[in-house]
């Protein structure tokens, strides 16, 4: 069995958890008396990024467990798609914190580009799970 896709998924998921933990601390900054004059995103904006990273990390952990239990020849492809989407899927929330609506494919070039990255990441996430499910169903 080739454990590389499992290792990739576990490392990426763990890194996303670390970033999410850092955001947990960042959400506390606006609540500090010394930070009242800082220009900092409100905690609710960071919360979306924080929770999305946790959910995407958990998906990667689940995929790693599934690949361990039901290995197939398509595991590298699925892992690559899930890892790429795990890091890109959070970008619309980051763009929103910067004042760009990456959820709507309208507006100027920046907004359309951000929305296309968001769309690509959602397609990669869905595609990764379809690859895994199809390979598991074919067993």
The pLDDT tens digits for 7-42 are 999 999 999 999 999 999 999 998 899 988 888 888
Q: What is the pTM of this model?
A: 0.91
Burial of 51 (0-12, 13-18, 19+ CB in 10 A): middle
The 10s digit of each residue's pLDDT in 47-101 is: 999 999 999 999 999 999 999 999 999 999 999 999 999 999 999 999 998 999 9
Number of structural domains the chain divides into: 1
> Which residues, 6+ apart, have CB-to-CB distance to 131 below 8 Å?
74, 77, 78, 81
CB 133 within 8 A of CB 63: no
The domain containing residue 130 runs over which residues?
A: 4-137
The 10s digit of each residue's pLDDT in 77-90 is: 999 999 999 999 99
> Which residues, 6+ apart, have CB-to-CB distance to 28 below 8 Å?
43
- Rounded CA-CA distance 9/66 in Å is 11
Look at residues 15, 128, 9, 2 and name the one whose alpha carbon lies nearest to residue 62.
9
Other Cβ atoms less than 10 A from the Cβ of 106: the count is 9
Burial of 118 (0-12, 13-18, 19+ CB in 10 A): buried
Q: Is the model's pLDDT at 126 over the cut of 60? A: yes
């Amino acid at each position: 069995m080739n454990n590389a896709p499992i290792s990739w998924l576990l490392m990426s998921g763990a890194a996303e958890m670390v970033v999410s933990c850092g955001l947990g601390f960042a959400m506390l900054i606006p609540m500090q008396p010394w930070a009242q004059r800082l220009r900092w995103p409100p905690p609710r904006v960071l919360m979306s990024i924080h929770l999305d990273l946790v959910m995407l990390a958990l998906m990667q952990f689940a995929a790693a467990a599934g690949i361990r239990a039901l290995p197939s020849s398509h595991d590298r492809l699925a892992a690559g798609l899930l890892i790429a989407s795990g890091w890109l899927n959070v970008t619309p929330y980051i763009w929103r914190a910067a004042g760009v609506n990456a959820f709507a494919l309208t507006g100027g070039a920046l907004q359309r580009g951000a929305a296309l990255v968001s769309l690509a990441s959602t397609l990669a996430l869905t595609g990764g799970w379809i690859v895994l499910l199809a390979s598991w169903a074919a067993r």
